Structure 1
Amino acid sequence: MEDVNANGGVVNTVLGPVPAGEIGAVAVHEALLSVVPGAEYAFDVTIDRAGIFEILAAKLRDFRDCGGGTIVDVTGMFHGRDVRLYETLSRATGVHIVASTGMGPEAMLGGYFLTPQTNPPTPWPAEKFADLFGGEVAEGMVVPRVERRGAAGLVATVATRAGMTATDESLFRGAARAARATGVPVSIRFGAEATHDLAVVLDEGLAADRVVVGGLDRKDAVAAGAPLEIARRGAYVAVADIGTQTGEYITDQERATVVRELVDAGFGDRILLSTNAIGVAKGGPGRDLPYGHVLTAFVPLLTAQGLSAQDVQQILVDNPRELLTVR
């Protein structure tokens, strides 16, 4: 039997460990099925699994045809993650799918994760979150009423937009401990201040190169110089909302400039790209962008900025491979 560890380690996918060298171009921050917790019980929401499969299969085949190899789903535990569906999609389309454990921000947690006997309720301690997330890597992801399935490939968590709360901090620390114990990386979306939120997970002894910081293409982050500062601290800079060019986000042209500036500063090995698209959304707003948008629409902007084919290869293939390899 072939040793999957023989060629530089493995990546945890929903179909099991895959040699890291085989995952190809990666979209590192996407959602396949996003379901607001409880939406499945609403009178006006229909969960048609066959229909959802057909929609997602078409989008994944399009991604594959654009040159994509792997989709990372960062929805975590309670926002629609459907491991059995993802297994079937991966087999049908040939696209590797890396699923995540984790949760957040505080407002999206159920009362189960708070201690109601206190006033005000206090969050679970970080160690309980660490055990929960770590179990989904070491023992497999939990599927309701079914045994555990494949191992999660990363831990994903989000801070409250107005600023990290005590519950968010417990989540971030638990995510960092789980990642450190299991060898998978952490993907965080910062709240109000990227460097502060990164410092929380690094305080748990997690190496900076095991952390992805998303949301760094927000206008406030760019104005504060956060992309360059996060790269200087050794973490990955996720330009993860490509295709969104209104509201609090910069334009794709401005994103291409940010990427070029990072490359010029010597941080080409710390850049990751994605669209944060939602394949199917139930109970909340969608983000109906092709998963291949980075490959078809954004890469030409990078080449126009003077990035070489080698630069693009590093950002789309080499960097996510290094990140997702279990260590």
Structure 2
Amino acid sequence: MPDGSLIDRFLEMMAAERGASRNTLAAYRRDLEQAAELIHGSLGNAQADDLRKLMADYQSLAASSAARKLSALRQFFAFLLDEGDRTDNPALDIARPATRRPLPRILTHDHVETLFAQASEEAAGETPPANAVRMLLLLELLYGSGLRASELVSLPRRAVTGGREFLIIRGKGDKERLVPLSERAREAVDRWLPLLADGSPWLFPSGKAHLSRVRLFQLLRELAARAGIDPAAISPHVLRHAFATHLLEGGADLRALQLMLGHADIATTEIYTHVDSRRLVELVNKRHPLARIDDVDLATSSS
């Protein structure tokens, strides 16, 4: 069967059975069609040696890009194996390019408190500027709910009506998830809604649309500068990382954090587990079964 037909069948399976998004399907198609062009012969009949030569052609790419292309090949051949079109998966014999996911920049608790103190001060009083109240709410939602910048700026006005304790977020891959809305954030919402112009469908309108991600980035850095924090250390993404890191430090469950952040893969969430080593030692000392046995033995011997 021609490679094009095999790729089409594979993508149909990915869409129907795994719910792959349009962007994911497009990326798989590009990677597989490119591989079919580079391999002399049929991609569907390729052997491990063919794939090693192909990966050698990808050496000039970033390791993460080459790894993504290999992942597409592995899943493609796994599909052909399941369908009975092959008796092996030659891509499994290919070493995965070494990738190292960089740790996100960490924002300290003191920095977060300083940012909130500045935003709260600017939004204080009986008739604070509307922009100051908006900034406080943006900050509460970024740090208090861990939203992505794109998710935050595009929030519909109806998302926070009715005293809800959760937001329904449509994130990557057009997938919905529930995100908790803290009491502080709900208080900021109650202050912001009366200041919103009638008729806009957005929670953060700007002109004929909603606030842009670029403008959100600028507003955060301007706030940081006024608070005496290096603006280069602040971004919406950094605040999302701070939300995740500080929750884990407080004892949050990794699986619960995965759901709140909207990560499809738990491995993505695990980059936030750069917890202070002293806390790990404390955790082992308190929770390890042998530690409890030692406590029992000590109590028994002393009695």
> Considering the TM-score relative to the shorter chain, is it more than 0.5?
no
TM (norm. structure 2) is 0.23
Query: If you compute each CA radius of gyration, which structure gives the higher value, 1 or 2?
Result: 2
Which has the bigger relative contact order, CA under 8 A and spacing at least 6?
Answer: 1
TM-score by length of structure 1 reads 0.22
